[in-house]
Amino acid sequence: MQQTLTEHLQKILQNKNKLETTLKVKITNKEKNLFIDGNPEEEYTALQVIEAINLGFSVDRALLLKNENTILQTLNIKDITKKHSLENIRARIIGKHGRTLKTLNKLTNCAISLKDNQVGIIGNAEEIEYAIQALTSIIQGSKQGHVYGRLEREKKKERLRGKMDLG
């Protein structure tokens, strides 16, 4: 049995049946503490899903972690920069009307969520590496356009490598 603390208890309780059937675990709570009971692998996956929900991902997006090729990676903005204007850095990640975040989601094929000073990324390992590089560059002050261009070049290289492998 695993225990974890959750900030989004209501969201988890509203989707409790869906989470229990999909993850094959039993979820109980005592105040904000969640207790997860099942076999160890399923408990670990359930903890990852709950961590993703705590980072602000939707339940459906968090359940993508059930796929063994999909992982959750978290970045702490404070670990990447020494700047004290964390509000400005969060604004750079989100972008005007959320455009930067949407563009990064699209270019990296990852789901990205921002909560306080934590950035959560859900995707496969290779795509998460691109997302981490892009987010690190933006946090450190690179222009968004330069980051997008680098991501597009990397994608193009990947497609060319894929064609060469087949040929």
Residue 62 pLDDT level (bands cut at 50, 70, 90): very high
pTM of the model: 0.85
> What are the structure tokens assigned to 23, written together?
């993850």
50: Cα within 13 Å, side-chain hemisphere: 30
User: What percent of the chain clears pLDDT 70, i.e. is strictly above it?
Assistant: 96
Instruction: Give the domains, in start order, of the chain with CATH numbers.
Output: 2-66 (3.30.1370.10), 70-166 (3.30.1370.10)
Q: What is the mean pLDDT of residues 121-133?
A: 91
Residue 60's identity, in one-letter code, is D
